[in-house]
Every structure is written in C-alpha cells, then in structure tokens.
Structure 1
Amino acid sequence: MAIFGLWVINKAGGLVYQRNFSDGLAQLTSNENLVLAGTLHGIHAITRNLSPTGTSSGAHVIEGESFKMTILLTPTATKFVLLTSLTETTADSMLQKVYEAYSDAVMKNPFHTPEMPIRSEGFDRRITSLIGS
C-alpha cells in the first residue's frame, strides 16, 4: 500500500496545493500538474450530471491500471484528491484528516486568501505527520 500524492483543487479548477510522497508518480512539470488538475475538475463536473437519479456529487474514486484517485468534495466545492496504489484502503479516512488539517491550518489563517495557492508551513507539517515525507 502506498500514497503517491495529494492535490487540493479550488472550486474554479485551479491546483492550489500539490505534493508527492513517493517515487511512484511520474515527475511532471508545474504546468502539467495544473493541466491535470483542471482536467480532473472537468471530469468531476461531468460525472455530477451522469447520475440516472440526477442527484450526485460526482466521482469519488477513479481507478487506473496501477493507481487510484480518491476524491473528497467539500461543501465549499474544494476538492481533495489522494493518489494511491490500488490496494490502499485508508484513502477516505486520510482525506477526511487532510480536510481537518486544511480547515485548522489554512482556513483559520487570517492572511490566507481563499482560492489562492496554499503556502502554510503549519499545513505542510500536519500533512507530513499524517502521510509522511
């Protein structure tokens, strides 16, 4: 089991936080990460409309051949995405803990502007203690 990376995507589809935790991910440029986050934002918006019942919050898990993306959509439309191995079973609970760290370390910071990149040492430290280096 492995956690490869974490993305935080704002409600407009911009990547505001990105961190890799393992060598399992391809080394992408900043621009490539931004494009991927925007694409995921679009896919998530489309999946909200695909539900036969008409009531869906969008995709929660997207699986590839060798990885899984677990998505937590918050009430403010911020998305937390955890990139993991297929065998990872703790992604949902881990995302909830990441969201709590975000709420405490980022949103309570009076100097943070919502929807802008996250530059918080407190948040980085909490993510390191939750997930690793």
Structure 2
Amino acid sequence: MAIFSLWVINKAGGLVYQRNFADGLAQLTSNEYLVLAGTLHGIHAITSRLSPAGSSSGAQVIEGETFKMTILLTATGTKFVLLTSLAEVTADSVLQRVYEAYADAVMKNPFHTPEMPVRSEGFDTRITSLIGTGQS
C-alpha cells in the first residue's frame, strides 16, 4: 500500500498544490500537472451532472489498472486528490486530515490569497508528518 501524490485543486480548476511521495511516478512538467488538474476538474463537473438518481457531488474515486484517485470535494469547491495504490484503504481519512491541515495552516494564514498557489512551510510540515514518504 502506498500514497503516490497529493493535489489540491481550487474551485476554478487550477492546481494550487502538488506533491509526490513515491519514486517511480512519471516525471511531469508543471504545465502537465496544470493540464491534468484542469481535466480532472472538468471530469468531476461532468460526473456531478450524470447521476440518474438526483443530485451528485461528482466522482469520489477513479480507478486505473495500477492506481486509484480519491477525491474530497469541500463546501467551498476546493478538491483534494490523493493518488494511491489500489490496496490503499485509508485514503478517505488521510484526505480528511489533509483538509484539516489545509484549513489550519493555509486558510487561517492572513498572508495567503485564496485560490492562489499554496506556499506554506507549516502546511508542508504537517503533510510530511501526516503522509511521510507515503509508504505503509
């Protein structure tokens, strides 16, 4: 079980935080990460409208052959995305704790501009203590 990467996507679909935790991931450029975040934002918007049984908050888990994306959508529209191995079962609770760290270290920072890239040493430190290297 492993945690590969964490993304924070603002309500407009912009990538405001991205961090890898495992070796072996494809080496992507900053632009490629921005495109992927925007694409995921669009997919999430589409899936929120496809529900045959009323309203939906959109995709919560997307699985590939070798990985899983777990998505936490907040009340403000910010998305927290965790890329993990298929066997990872703690993704939901990790995302909830990441959200709490984000609220404490980023949103309570008077010098942070909402919807802008996260540049907070306190947030980075909390993520490191929460996820570490991502290896279970």
**Shorter-normalised TM-score: what interval?**
over 0.9
Counterpart residue number, 2:18? 18
Mapped partners of 1:24, 1:114: distance in 2: 32
Q: CA deviation at 1:53?
A: 1.7
| Higher mean displacement: 11-20 or 21-30 | 21-30
User: Percent of pairs identical after alignment?
Assistant: 86
Mapped partners of 1:44, 1:25: distance in 2: 23
Mapped partners of 2:2, 2:98: distance in 1: 16
1:43 aligns with 2:10: no
Q: CA deviation at 1:24?
A: 3.5
Q: CA deviation at 1:14?
A: 0.1
Aligned residue pairs, count: 133
1:10-89 equivalent positions in 2, closer than 5 A: 10-89=10-89
Q: What TM-score, normalized to structure 1? A: 0.99
- Greater RCO, 1 or 2 (C-alpha within 8 Å, sep 6+): 2
Asked if the contact 1:4–1:85 (Cα under 8 Å) also holds between the matched residues in 2, the reply is yes
Secondary structure at the residue paired with 2:65? coil
User: What code does the residue aligned with 2:23 have?
Assistant: D
Q: CA deviation at 1:55?
A: 0.9
Superposition RMSD in Å: 0.6
Q: CA deviation at 1:25?
A: 1.7
Give unmatched runs, 5+ long, in structure 1: none
Q: What TM-score, normalized to structure 2? A: 0.96
Counterpart residue number, 1:95? 95
Give unmatched runs, 5+ long, in structure 2: none
Mapped partners of 2:122, 2:55: distance in 1: 36
